[in-house]
Amino acid sequence: MAAIPLRSLLLVSLLLGLSTACSEALEPDDGAGRRDLLFTFDASTQDWSGNFTDLAPTQVDAVGFLFEQRGLPPEVGTPGGALFISGRNVSDDLFMFLTHPVTGLRPDTAYTLTFELELASNAPTGCVGVGGAPGESVFLKVGAALAEPDRVLGTTGTYHLNVDKGEQSTGGANARVVGNIANGSTDCATPPYLRITRDNRDDPFRITTDAQGQLWLLVGTDSGFESTTALYYDTIRVILEPS
């Protein structure tokens, strides 16, 4: 039986009167501090921003980076909007990421974060690409940081992320690897966009909030595929629980 998309489950819950707006925290009745954030991007970016890093300043323009809210591709078979992010890996190590602030958490408190992502990917499975496979060599990462994730110029003269995401297939202090973007299609010539789901239920991310009860969410792809990766983030759900 095929999995039911999160946006379909949200519609059912809205009709039953069980949920608030998709971008708002669903607060528990027991006062335990649990937050449940669900973003569907049907009309806007919902305050998520996009950027890229891991390259030299002279390579920035060649990436052709694009981040915007747009409709899902028709072949996905589900109406609605998504966050579209696209860029060409010209450095053999392109990291494209999304970030979003979360406020109103308990100050100086350890939280466990569970991410559930639904994407539309046109990266096929088992295909050869320049530098690496278009699907299996693009690693999806999730995590959080106290500082806003941003591109900064390092002492070596190249751009890097100001928080620890790890490199390629490994995570770091601020990110976990949740698989790759291979979509199961074996059509290497004209691969379609297909829905994929990824989560870190088996490896929850843990972070302690700052004195104001804030943190920044981080979602991104670390690429060894030396060509263009273009993804639609259909839904992002993050469950935050004091631990």
pLDDT in tens, 84-131: 999 999 999 999 999 999 999 999 999 999 999 999 999 999 999 999
Q: How confident is the model at residue 36 (pLDDT cuts 50, 70, 90)?
A: very high
Residue 222 lies in a domain: yes
| Residues 180, 183, 187, 191, CA torsion sign | negative
Q: How many domains does the chain fold into?
A: 1
Are 101 and 212 a contacting pair, CB within 8 Å? no
What pLDDT is stored for residue 103 in this prediction?
Answer: 97
pLDDT in tens, 124-174: 999 999 999 999 999 999 999 999 999 999 999 999 999 999 999 999 999
pLDDT in tens, 171-189: 999 999 999 999 999 999 9
Does the pLDDT of residue 208 top 80, yes or no?
Answer: yes
How many Cβ atoms are within 10 Å of 80's Cβ, its own excluded?
A: 18
Residue 6 lies in a domain: no
Cα–Cα dist 86/96, whole Å = 8
Token pair belonging to 212: 């104001």
Residue 10 lies in a domain: no
Does the pLDDT of residue 4 top 80, yes or no?
Answer: no
What pLDDT is stored for residue 48 in this prediction?
Answer: 98
Question: What phi and psi values does residue 218 have, to the nearest 5 degrees?
Answer: -140, 125
Q: What is the CATH number of the domain that holds 195?
A: 2.60.120.260
Question: What phi and psi values does residue 15 have, to the nearest 5 degrees?
Answer: -65, -30
Residue 18 lies in a domain: no
Mean pLDDT of the chain: 91
What pLDDT is stored for residue 45 in this prediction?
Answer: 98
Interval 226-235 mean pLDDT? 97
Residue 76 lies in a domain: yes
As a whole number of Å, the end-to-end CA separation of the chain is 34
Residue 8 lies in a domain: no
Cα distances from 110 to residues 61, 136, 163, in angstroms, run 40, 33, 18
User: Which distant-in-sequence residues (6+ apart) come within 8 Å of 89 by Cβ?
Assistant: 63, 131, 223, 224, 225, 226, 227, 228, 229
Residue 90 lies in a domain: yes
Tell me the residue range of the domain where 29 lies: 25-238
Residue 218 lies in a domain: yes
